[in-house]
A = this chain, B = another copy of it.
Amino acid sequence: MGKRPTMSDVARLAGVSPATVSNVLGNRKPVEPALAERVQKAASDLDYQVDRAASRLRSGKTNVVAVVVPSLENPFFASLVASIEMEAQKDNYDIIVSSTNESDAAEHSRVSALLSWRPSGFVVVPTSDRFSGRHLLDRSGIPYVVVDRAPPDQPADTVLVQNTQAAEAVGEHLLDYGHREILVAASSLDLLNIRERSEGVRGTYERLGQPLPSLVEVGGDFETATESLRLWLLTHKRPSAIFALTNVATLGVVAALSRLSIRVPADVSLVGFDDYAWMRAMTPSITAVRQPLIEMSKLAWQRLRSRIQGADLPARQFKLQCHLDIRQSTKIVGPSLVQGGKVGLLPLSKTVKAKRNRS
């Protein structure tokens, strides 16, 4: 109960000045070991913890970063937050988490509100390609890193995945398995990364002279996605394979197919995006593009930390490679449609090639 102890309380108990306590606890200046010990003991006896508000006010240092994501319900963002938190914790940073519920306006207002913390940095997954929090961040001078969705126009530190290449690999995989008529289930084409995925497969089919994939937008949440998919399937010729561009879309496809008693992969093959335990656990296991979530977080954090520490780096865009895990949900339905030896033999687990590259 009662009020929390202050540094002066510790100082009094240890019989030293507040300044010394500050020096000991922040090990800023060398202090006589004997004194240091007394101070430490006094501090722990009182369960004393430096007040970050006071500390920040004087020193300007906070050790906190704000993390802004479109939604915490989406397991992809949840996992992202989880691994960023882990990285931050290693460096003794805390994170303030905020979700924008997929609203541009909310993004703006959340960023604005979070600025009042004067955080050391921001990690942002923009809600849309408009990235409406950007202006505020730029004006603030606080370093930030954008993850997953590329900001338009001006460069900024950005950590993305090679969506196009990953989708091309999926296209090749499906062609190699003999699939000619495929359906692409996108969440929303408003997002650049989704468009890249969509155009990736499309490009592959186009280049190889195959019929272009059909495309359906299914929305961002599970229920909607399921229903959209179900409707589409009821009103169109059944494709031989479906490529879902997000984890939610994947789940929607699985549910829709299940409801329509369409079997995977007997009746239709399925490739998902994002890789979650349930995709591996279920029967059939789902062939899916795995995003390097941990690497993304590590890279984003590393970059942000450098900037926080004052490094003067040019804005850079990182594009990490994805990985296609081929599992049971894709079935060979005919001879390979991939010409030449180009992709003659796909390894069971195919790595989408490409390395980091500059913006």
Q: B-contacting residues of A (Cβ < 8 Å)? A: 1-4, 47, 49-54, 56-57, 62, 64, 71-73, 75, 78-79, 81-82, 85-86, 89, 94-99, 101, 112-118, 136, 139-141, 222, 226, 251-252, 254-255, 258, 276-278, 280-283, 285
Contact = CB atoms under 8 A, between A and B. Distances in A.
A98 to B, nearest CB: 7
B117 A52 contact: yes
Number of copies: 2
A53 B49 contact: no
Identify the 8 closest CB pairs spanning chains A and B, nearest first.
A72-B82, A255-B281, A278-B278, A78-B78, A53-B53, A49-B116, A258-B283, A53-B56
A117 B98 contact: no
A35 B255 CA distance: 58
A68 B218 CA distance: 35
Contact of A72 (B62, B78, B136, B140): B78
Contacts of A82: 71-73, 78, 99
Contact of A47 (B50, B64, B139): B139
A202 to B, nearest CB: 26
Given A1-B141, A117-B52, A141-B1, A281 B226 contact: yes
A85 B57 contact: no
Contact of A94 (B113, B141, B252): B113
Contacts of A54: 53, 57
Contacts of A1: 139, 141
B72 A85 contact: yes
A51 B57 CA distance: 9
**Residue picked from A72, A85, A141, most chain B C-beta under 10 Å:** A72
A4 B85 contact: no
A8 B228 CA distance: 55
**Residue picked from A54, A57, A94, A281, most chain B C-beta under 10 Å:** A281
Contacts of A79: 73, 78
Given A72-B85, A82-B72, A94 B94 contact: no
A79 B98 CA distance: 13
A52 B54 CA distance: 10
Contact of A114 (B94, B113, B280): B94
**Residue picked from A53, A71, A99, most chain B C-beta under 10 Å:** A53
A101 B276 CA distance: 19
Nearest to A140: B4
A255 to B, nearest CB: 4
A1 B95 CA distance: 23
A103 to B, nearest CB: 12
A171 to B, nearest CB: 25
